[in-house]
Amino acid sequence: EPEVTQTPSHQVTQMGQEVILRCVPISNHLYFYWYRQILGQKVEFLVSFYNNEISEKSEIFDDQFSVERPDGSNFTLKIRSTKLEDSAMYFCASSESMDGANVLTFGAGSRLTVL
Amino acid sequence: QKEVEQNSGPLSVPEGAIASLNCTYSDRGSQSFFWYRQYSGKSPELIMSIYSNGDKEDGRFTAQLNKASQYVSLLIRDSQPSDSATYLCAVKRSYNKLIFGAGTRLAVHP
């Protein structure tokens, strides 16, 4: 079964450092997303991406965050200067289309720990 | 008012029983609803989707939707210890944005 692949599975970084989280969406999917989940809290939407541009972003997705599709397979989330409160599990997801019935497939997640 | 509300649990049921999980949502215009299962430290895994009022059955799982009451539920029949997880209710918004509830922790004991 096709899957969304995320790397690294766990990253530890110092506050103020830049972090790049990588995702390989399912090959025929056209829509890509990042969600995050702080430990013990709910899954929160960060950003959706289609046709090489952001479709929608949440209030969490401020100027410290950026997304990019640098080639035909990868989809990245960059945090420019990490803060302690960025510690969370970051989930990448992808979907074939945007219609209401279409479902998102999530990757296994990247755990980010900011010290 | 939270956009998607769920009881946090834990909901404890004996093996073989029916587990009933509930969710309410605030946006009356919502059209697509999902139940995800999340094991500790893992990613959400889709269990069921439902778009029309009424019941939708898939194996041991039944999703129920009542748009007038803004209520979604998930029934798990013949609950197994392997069903022990957190169940997330999610409502779809624009551009496939999912709004998740905080989840209900289900514990199935032998």
The b-or-e profile of B25-44 (16+ CB within 10 A means b, else e) is beeeebebbbbbbbeeeebb
| Residue B97 pLDDT > 90 | no
Convert chain A into a string of H (helix), E (strand) and C (coil): CCCCEEECCEEEECCCCCEEEEEECCCCCCEEEEEEECCCCCEEEEEEEECCEEEEECCCCCCCEEEECCCCCCEEEEECCCCHHHCEEEEEEEECCCCCCCCCEECCCEEEEEC
Instruction: Please check whether residue A109 touches B, CB under 8 A.
Output: yes
* pLDDT band, residue B4 (cuts 50/70/90): very high
Indicate if the pLDDT at residue B1 is higher than 80. Answer: no
C-alpha–C-alpha distance, residues A99 and B3, integer Å:
21
Are B102 and A41 an interchain contact pair (Cβ–Cβ within 8 Å)?
Answer: yes
Query: According to the model, what pLDDT value does residue A94 have?
Result: 93
B44 touches A at CB < 8 Å: yes
Does residue A98 carry a pLDDT above 80?
Answer: no
Q: In this model, does residue A103 exceed pLDDT 80?
A: yes
Residues A49-96: pLDDT tens digits? 998 999 999 999 999 999 999 887 899 999 999 999 999 999 999 998
Residue B54 structure tokens: 């009424």
Closest CB from B44, B45, B96 relative to A102: B96
User: Which of B32, B49, B95 lies at the smallest CB-CB distance from A48?
Assistant: B95
Which residues of B are less than 8 Å from A48 in CB distance? Answer: 95-97
Q: Which residue has the higher pLDDT, A103 or A18?
A: A18
Q: Which of A15, A12, A55, A13 is nearest to A31 (CA)?
A: A55
CB within 8 Å of chain B, chain A residues 50-89: 50, 55-56, 89
Using pLDDT thresholds of 50, 70 and 90, give the confidence band for residue B2. confident
Average pLDDT, chain A: 93
Residue B96: the pLDDT is 72
> Residue A73's pLDDT is what?
85
Take residue B64 and report the two structure tokens written for it. Answer: 């129920």
Residue B32 near residue B49 (C-beta atoms within 8 A): yes
pLDDT (mean) for A96-114:
86
Assigned token pair, A10: 């766990």
Q: Per-residue pLDDT for A21 more than 80?
A: yes
Distances (CA, A) of A84 to A9, A43, A67, A110, B43: 18, 18, 20, 16, 22
pLDDT tens-digit series, residues B49-59: 999 999 999 99
Query: Is residue B86's pLDDT more than 90?
Result: yes
Reported confidence tier of residue B95, pLDDT bands at 50, 70, 90: low
